[in-house]
Structure 1
Amino acid sequence: MSESLKLIVEAYVGLNDREAIQGLREHWQTIRGRLLASSSQWFDTSSLVRLLDNDLNEIEAGLARLQ
């Protein structure tokens, strides 16, 4: 996960801001969906999809810490 996203998730967890983390998750899911929809045989997007998946896992972990 990118260090900046990690810091953002940690800040939201510290603020107990579930809505902000859920919004972040929705945004990342939208980016991932658009990337998958626009991928073609000319561009290998698999590494970027893996990075987004890793970020989404960290976001999910942040949400789990709020429960």
Structure 2
Amino acid sequence: MANAIELIVDGYVSLNDRRALDDLRMQRRKLVVDLKARTGFDCRTTIQQIEEDIIVIEAGLAQLDGTATT
């Protein structure tokens, strides 16, 4: 079963909405930076999940790049 971020990315890809994917990726990247700056909390699991989300988002962007060139 697909997780939520995969469904969201698939939706944006089907709509050819690169801006939404870029915004989603930027939001995730900022969140990782903020979590890494935190002290006193173990955020490693959360950071790992967000980084996995970024990989899925970048795969969606790559799909859009592939469809734009064909």
* TM-score normalised by the chain length of structure 2: 0.84
Identity of aligned residues (%): 38
Distance, in Å, in 1 between the alignment partners of 2:10 and 2:49 is: 18
Structure 1 outlier segments of 4+, above 6 Å: none
Unaligned runs of 5+ in 2: 66-70
Distance, in Å, in 2 between the alignment partners of 1:47 and 1:22 is: 23
Aligned to 2:23: 23
Matches within 5 A, 1:25-64: 25-38=25-38, 40=39, 42-64=40-62
Number of residue equivalences: 64
Aligned to 2:68: none
Aligned to 2:63: 65
* TM-score normalised by the chain length of structure 1: 0.87
Root-mean-square deviation (Å) = 1.3
